[in-house]
């Protein structure tokens, strides 16, 4: 399956580009950094497929149909007989088959090579099945990774995971060189505007309707304010309900007469466009509705680029915006969002101070730094595997 050499062979299990999925982007961003890291061959992916066909690149060495249990068993056999040193399981309930992704359990039971798991979702109130899955994945793993400090205790207390197995590593952020905020605004035709932005797949849980309503009061004091919603509708949402949510939002804009102050960019953004959208923003906003959200890649990007952030107080936002790195507004509370926006637009000096604090944390979240932490973890895990007597094939 892989070329044999003295360097370590790492394989990721999860979704892969060009599938439109945050985990696919996360995996590719992390893998890209290993080109410059010593001691490793370029990692490869076993790609989880839903009911779509994807034109994968050379990074994908095998595919698993999410709903075919036999594919999982065949993949485990192939890994066991390959030169793979370590498997990295990207865990999100929705990308694996069976109830809550339970098809992953017989797969890991069949593995004879060591693996670690990266938990992209850590629920505080899991169903019995969800709790069983996380607990069993962790029990057989050598290490598990969480991207929020606040979830470490949950993994210990709710899922009974040994604290020595848990590693906290920030969500990575890609580095993209861009023009200045002023030049980007000029380039995009937004010169003289105060840009508030949100990016990512559009879905009802994003709470965009409350942000749009908040703009009604904002524009009375700041007619130059422009709220840009970057991104296409989530593929799963579009498949199930079409563009109902986007249509609801555009109707709100029309109802509130905000056509000059709210803009939708309905496309899948390139990485460069994502970063440009952030750099040109005066305020980045995540008005999400789910209070237990443990990690948000979009919020991590906002922090990574030192934006001043307004967010609802879901778990990850509370952690990332602590120590004066942003403002928290109430859930489903447009008046609270409006007050936060106005507080920032009316106080430029406050914005500057917040940007400095946020950038201090954000500079440590670039993928170039985060990948080094993962590389150390992989080496540590492999050493632990050899020490404990597990075979590395």
pLDDT in tens, 232-260: 999 989 989 999 999 999 999 999 999 99
Provide the 10 A C-beta neighbour count for residue 173: 25
Statement to judge: residues 112 and 220 lie in one domain: no
Tell me: pLDDT of 383 over 80.
yes
Establish if 3 belongs to a structural domain: no
Establish if 89 belongs to a structural domain: yes
pLDDT tens-digit readout, 263-315? 999 999 999 999 999 999 999 999 999 998 889 999 999 999 999 999 999 99
Q: CATH no. for residue 310?
A: 3.40.50.2000
Statement to judge: residues 200 and 333 lie in one domain: yes
Statement to judge: residues 160 and 193 lie in one domain: no
Statement to judge: residues 17 and 131 lie in one domain: yes
Verdict on whether the full-model pTM lies above 0.85: yes
144 vs 88: CA distance, rounded Å: 9
Instruction: Using pLDDT thresholds of 50, 70 and 90, give the confidence band for residue 90.
Output: very high
316 vs 309: CA distance, rounded Å: 13
Statement to judge: residues 200 and 145 lie in one domain: no
Residue 96: what pLDDT?
98
Instruction: Using pLDDT thresholds of 50, 70 and 90, give the confidence band for residue 6.
Output: confident
Establish if 4 belongs to a structural domain: no
Residue 389: what pLDDT?
46
Please choose, from the candidates 201, 267, 265, the residue with its C-alpha nearest in 3D space to the C-alpha of residue 233. Answer: 201
Establish if 393 belongs to a structural domain: no
Establish if 2 belongs to a structural domain: no
Tell me: pLDDT of 40 over 70.
yes
Establish if 25 belongs to a structural domain: yes
Residue 392: what pLDDT?
34
Residue 1: what pLDDT?
46
In a 3-state reduction of DSSP, which class is residue 61? Answer: strand
Long-range contacts of 233-236 (CB under 8 A, 24+ apart): 233/201, 233/202, 233/203, 233/266, 234/201, 234/202, 234/203, 235/20, 235/201, 236/94
pLDDT tens-digit readout, 159-196? 999 999 999 999 999 999 999 999 999 999 999 999 99
Mean pLDDT of 373-391: 79
Statement to judge: residues 189 and 47 lie in one domain: no
Q: Sign of the CA dihedral 98, 100, 103, 109?
A: negative
In terms of DSSP H, where are the helices of 2-100? 22-33, 69-80
Statement to judge: residues 44 and 81 lie in one domain: yes
Residue 5: what pLDDT?
52
49 vs 27: CA distance, rounded Å: 15
Q: How many domains does the chain have?
A: 2
Instruction: Using pLDDT thresholds of 50, 70 and 90, give the confidence band for residue 377.
Output: very high
Statement to judge: residues 109 and 217 lie in one domain: no
Statement to judge: residues 234 and 381 lie in one domain: no
**Residues β-bridged to residue 87:** 11, 115
| C-alpha dist (Å) from residue 81 to 77, 137, 381, 391 | 6, 21, 20, 11
356 vs 174: CA distance, rounded Å: 19
Establish if 129 belongs to a structural domain: yes
* Mean pLDDT over each residue of the chain, to the nearest integer: 94
Please choose, from the candidates 8, 74, 69, the residue with its C-alpha nearest in 3D space to the C-alpha of residue 41. Answer: 8
Statement to judge: residues 212 and 353 lie in one domain: yes
- Domain housing 337: 181-365
* CB environment 42-57: b (16+ within 10 A), e (fewer): bbbbbbbbbeeebebe
Establish if 5 belongs to a structural domain: no
């Amino acid at each position: 399956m892989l070329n044999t050499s003295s360097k370590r062979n790492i394989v990721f299990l999860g979704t892969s580009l060009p599938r439109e999925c945050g985990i696919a982007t996360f995996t590719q961003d992390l893998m890209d950094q290993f080109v410059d890291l010593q001691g490793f061959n370029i990692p490869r992916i076993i790609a989880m497929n839903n009911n779509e066909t994807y034109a994968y690149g050379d990074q994908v060495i095998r595919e698993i149909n999410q709903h075919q249990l036999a594919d999982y068993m065949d993949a485990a056999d192939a890994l066991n007989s390959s030169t793979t040193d370590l498997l990295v399981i990207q865990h999100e309930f929705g990308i694996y088959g069976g109830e809550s992704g339970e098809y992953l359990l017989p797969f890991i039971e069949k593995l004879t090579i060591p693996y670690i798991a990266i938990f992209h979702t850590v629920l505080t109130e899991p169903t019995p099945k969800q709790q069983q899955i996380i607990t069993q994945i962790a029990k057989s793993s050598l290490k598990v990774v969480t991207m929020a400090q606040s979830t470490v205790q949950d993994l210990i207390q709710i899922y009974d995971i040994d604290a020595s197995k848990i590693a906290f590593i920030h969500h990575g952020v890609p580095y993209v060189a861009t023009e200045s905020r002023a030049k980007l605004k000029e380039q995009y035709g937004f010169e003289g505007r105060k840009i508030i932005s949100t990016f990512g797949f559009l879905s009802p849980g994003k709470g965009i309707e409350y942000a749009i309503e908040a703009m009604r009061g904002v524009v009375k004091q700041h007619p130059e304010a422009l709220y840009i919603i970057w991104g296409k509708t989530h593929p799963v949402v579009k498949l199930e309900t079409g563009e109902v949510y986007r249509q609801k939002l555009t109707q709100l804009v029309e109802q509130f007469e905000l056509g000059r102050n709210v803009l939708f960019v309905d496309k899948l953004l390139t990485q460069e466009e994502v970063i440009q959208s952030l750099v040109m923003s005066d305020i980045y906003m995540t008005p999400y509705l789910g209070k237990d959200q443990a990690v948000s890649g979009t919020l991590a990007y906002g922090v990574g680029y030192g934006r001043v952030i307004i967010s609802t107080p879901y778990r990850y936002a509370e952690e990332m915006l602590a120590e004066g790195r942003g403002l928290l507004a109430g859930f489903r509370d447009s008046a609270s969002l409006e007050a936060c926006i106005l507080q920032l637009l009316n106080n430029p000096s406050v914005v500057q101070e917040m940007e400095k604090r946020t950038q201090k944390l954000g500079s440590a979240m670039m993928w170039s730094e985060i990948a080094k932490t993962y590389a150390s973890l992989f080496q540590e895990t492999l050493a632990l595997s050899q020490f404990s007597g597990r075979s590395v094939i």
